[in-house]
Amino acid sequence: MTNNIEMPAEHPLEGAGEELTVKGLQRATQNLKTKIENVKRMKEKHVEEKITEYDALIEEARQKQILYNEANDTLEYYRGVDEAGLLDAEDKKNLEELEKQVRTIENDFETINTRIKSIYEQPEIGKRIVESAEKNERTLEAEKEFTKSVQELERKIDELAESIKQEALRVEKLKEEEQKAVQAIEEANKIVRRTIVDADVISKNNPSIFRMQDLYSSLESPQEFFEGLRRRRSKLGIFQGKEKAKIDLVLRHEKDFEAETIAREQYKEVSKIYREAQEVPELSERCRELFISAWETERAYTNIGGKPTGLARILAERLYKNFPKIKEKGSQTEITLPWQEIILNAIVRKAGSAGLIQYPKGF
C-alpha cells in the first residue's frame, strides 16, 4: 500500500502572458493556503486511519495469541497421548488437522505482525503511536494517583466527621455544665436574698438603722461587703442590739455568700469555654484544607485529560452522610443528634460554605 498522498491540481498565478496584479497575487496566495490546508487534512486523515488500523491489528494479534496458546496446549496434549500409543485412527486425523490449524494461526500471526511493523515503521505514524502510548501511560498513572488521593481525602473526611461528633459531645457536656452553674447560682442566690431580707426584717420598724439590701447593692464584692460589716459591727454600742443582730445574722451566712461568688466565677469560666467551643476554629481549618485539597486534586487530574468528577461536592455529601437524621421517640420528625448539625454547619460555613464546595476563588 502506498503512503503517497495525491496533491490538488496547481493553479497558475495569472493567465499566460497576463500582467501580475495585487488581486491576482492575493488570490494565488489564498489558493496555496487552501491547498496546504487540504494536504494537512488529508495527511492527518491518513495518519488517523493508519493508527486505527494499527490498533485493530494489535487487538487481532492479541486474540490470535490467546487462540494460539489454547490450540498449542491442546496440540501438545494430543502429541503426548500419541507418543503413548493411545490414539486411534480418527484421533490421529484430528491431530493432523490440529497441527494444520496451529500452523495457519502461526502464519496469520506472522502476517499480522508484519502489517503492524510496516505501519509502525512509518516515521510520523510511529511517532504518534509512541506519543499516544506514553499519554495513555501517563493517564493511567494519573488515574491511579487520583484514585489514591480520593481515598485519602475520603479517609480524612471520615476522620473529620468523627472529630465533629466528639466535639459535639464536648459542647453538649459544656452546655450541661453551664446549666448546672446557672442552677448553682440560683440556689446560692436564694439563700443570699433570704438572708438579706431576714436581716432587714429585724430592723423594719426602725428606719434609722441601715438597710442591709442597700449596703449589699452598693459594694462591688462580697469580700468588701463582709469587711464593711465587721468594721460596722466593731463600732456598735451596747444599745444597738438590732443592728448587731442583723449583722450577726449575715455574718453567719458568709459561706453562703462565698458559694454564690464561686458559682458565678465557675459560670463565667464554663460559659467562656462553651462559647469558644462553638467557634470550632481548628475543625473549620481542617475542613477548609480538605476542600481546597479536593479542588487541587481534581484540577491536577483534569489538566492531564481526566474528566471532572465534582470531587469537592462528593466529599461534602460524604461528610453530611456521616450525620444521618433520626426520628425522635414518639415522633415522625427526623432530626440530627443534638449539637452535631450545629457544629457541622458552623464548620462548613467558617471553612468557606457553598462557595468552597462548588467553585472556590482561584480555581
Q: Which of 87, 102, 137 is at the close of a domain? A: 137
The answer to whether residues 194 and 207 touch, using CB atoms and an 8 Å cutoff, is: no
Question: Can you tell me the mean pLDDT for 233-251?
Answer: 85
Q: What is the DSSP letter of 327?
A: E
- 126 and 151 housed in the same domain: no
Collect all residues with Cβ–Cβ distance below 8 Å to 191 and sequence separation of at least 6: 253, 256, 259, 260
Collect all residues with Cβ–Cβ distance below 8 Å to 163 and sequence separation of at least 6: 283, 286
Q: Is residue 313 part of a domain?
A: yes
Q: Is residue 11 part of a domain?
A: no
Q: Indicate whether 2 pLDDT > 70.
A: no
Q: What percent of the chain has pLDDT over 70?
A: 87
Give the pLDDT of residue 69: 94
Give the pLDDT of residue 12: 52
The amino acid at 243: E
The amino acid at 281: P
Give the pLDDT of residue 330: 56
Q: What percent of the chain has pLDDT over 90?
A: 19
- 114 and 190 housed in the same domain: no
Q: Which of 137, 166, 183 is at the close of a domain? A: 137
The answer to whether residues 323 and 341 touch, using CB atoms and an 8 Å cutoff, is: yes
Give the pLDDT of residue 147: 93
- 176 and 264 housed in the same domain: yes
Q: Can you give the three-state secondary structure of 242-291, one letter per residue?
A: HHHHHHHHHHHCHHHHHHHHHHHHHHHHHHHHHHHHCCCHHHHHHHHHHH
Question: Can you tell me the mean pLDDT for 196-203?
Answer: 87
Query: Helix 123-202 crosses helix 340-351 at what angle (to 10 degrees)?
Result: 130
- 36 and 88 housed in the same domain: yes
52-91 tens-digit pLDDT: 888 899 899 999 999 999 999 999 999 999 898 888 989 8
Q: What is the DSSP string of 192-222?
A: HHHHHHHHHHHTTT-TTSPPHHHHHHHSS-H
Q: Is residue 14 part of a domain?
A: no
**Does residue 213 or residue 352 have the better pLDDT?**
213
Conformation bin of residue 169: beta by default, left when phi > 0, alpha when psi is -120 to 50: alpha
Q: Indicate whether 220 pLDDT > 60.
A: yes
The confidence band for 1, taking pLDDT boundaries of 50, 70 and 90, is very low
Q: Is residue 318 part of a domain?
A: yes
Question: Can you tell me the mean pLDDT for 249-255?
Answer: 88
Q: Is residue 12 part of a domain?
A: no
- 94 and 31 housed in the same domain: yes
Q: Is residue 298 part of a domain?
A: yes
- 109 and 151 housed in the same domain: no
Give the pLDDT of residue 326: 54
- 119 and 156 housed in the same domain: no
- Cα maximum dimension of the chain: 147
CATH classification of the domain holding 132 = 1.10.287
Q: Is residue 129 part of a domain?
A: yes
167-184 tens-digit pLDDT: 888 888 888 888 888 888
- The answer, as to whether pTM is greater than 0.85, is no
- 131 and 251 housed in the same domain: no
- 113 and 184 housed in the same domain: no
Q: Cell for 172?
A: 453538649
Question: Can you tell me the mean pLDDT for 259-272?
Answer: 86
- 119 and 196 housed in the same domain: no
Q: Is residue 16 part of a domain?
A: no
The confidence band for 203, taking pLDDT boundaries of 50, 70 and 90, is confident
- Please state the φ and ψ torsions of residue 335, each to the nearest 5 degrees: -135, 165
- 217 and 330 housed in the same domain: yes
Q: Which of 137, 159, 183 is at the close of a domain? A: 137
- 259 and 321 housed in the same domain: yes
Domain count for the chain? 2
Question: Domain of 29?
Answer: 22-137
Q: Indicate whether 131 pLDDT > 80.
A: yes
